[in-house]
Structure 1
């Protein structure tokens, strides 16, 4: 059994429709979907605000590389163009965390592969990931350093207050659960 935490975001076109497309594609395996948040862009490239959400999904047949492929297919279906790092995009699907269920419990996947680094190497620095993830999994932990899991609350508390304040919950819904 494979379980993932995905961060989804959009700041071009019909932002809400792009996020809803991810929900529809993953609906059979969805375990949780956060509220939709409006967030300032991250990375220093001038652009409009994003709509962001976090979802938790599982599928017994998917490995982390399969989740990556699926996320990239969803981005392509939304006409995602990769021109500028951290630039504007119709859809961004990031694997924040992945785990495998084993007899002795769930084991986080770790990967230093540049194609798929797990956990996501910047997740602990991004309020737009931590705030919605905390909403759907209040007891979640993230291993920023191997063997040293930290609660999402502690990671969020370490961020600059202005970054956290920039993550604003909206009234938009993603149509889950239905």
Structure 2
């Protein structure tokens, strides 16, 4: 369940992550590819974050970010676009939660709740992942997931594994 009453206007929230090559550039390239056809427009973008790997921890660190977008695409068409961006950037799917040049996930789409074989909305593990919650809080701070504000979910994850890339050392 999503309460969008106090959230800035957008149609979807998308998470991006990379841990192969120039990670920050991969995020920028994926965003550009998502928007190049003109039917997706970024209305807010988080900063870039250095994050610890999740799931499979024996791999390089990630860069993660979130974007809020305006689009007329359906949730399934938006997912297809995200996957086409991953394919265009030569993402190889060898290991679940393993290394990737880019990961582009639809996290939230309007107030849609969906559970089908190809797409679950909101993303089923969004509330477990600091690497998603921290950048998401920048662009949709009033978002409510499963009846709780983001601050509730942020208090339940390890924030020490997420560092803003432009933060002072």
TM-score bracket relative to the smaller structure: 0.7 to 0.9
1:38 equivalenced with 2:50 (yes/no) = yes
- Separation in 1, partners of 2:28, 2:152: 30
Unaligned runs of 5+ in 1: 100-107, 144-148, 173-178
Q: Quick check: 37-46 or 123-132, which moved more?
A: 37-46
| TM-score with structure 1 setting the length | 0.82
- Separation in 2, partners of 1:46, 1:115: 28
- Separation in 2, partners of 1:2, 1:37: 22
Q: Partner of 1:15 in structure 2?
A: 23
Query: Deviating runs (4+, > 2 A) in structure 1?
Result: 25-28
1:24 equivalenced with 2:32 (yes/no) = yes
Question: Whose RCO is larger (CA < 8 A, sep 6+)?
Answer: 2
| TM-score with structure 2 setting the length | 0.86
Q: CA deviation at 1:15?
A: 1.2
* Structure with the higher strand share, 1 or 2: 1
1:169 equivalenced with 2:167 (yes/no) = no
- Separation in 2, partners of 1:171, 1:75: 26
**Partner SS state of residue 87, structure 1:** coil
Question: CA offsets, 1:105-156, max 9 Å, x none?
Answer: xxx111111310111000000000000000111111112xxxxx21011111
- Separation in 2, partners of 1:116, 1:7: 14
Number of residue pairs the alignment of both structures matches: 155
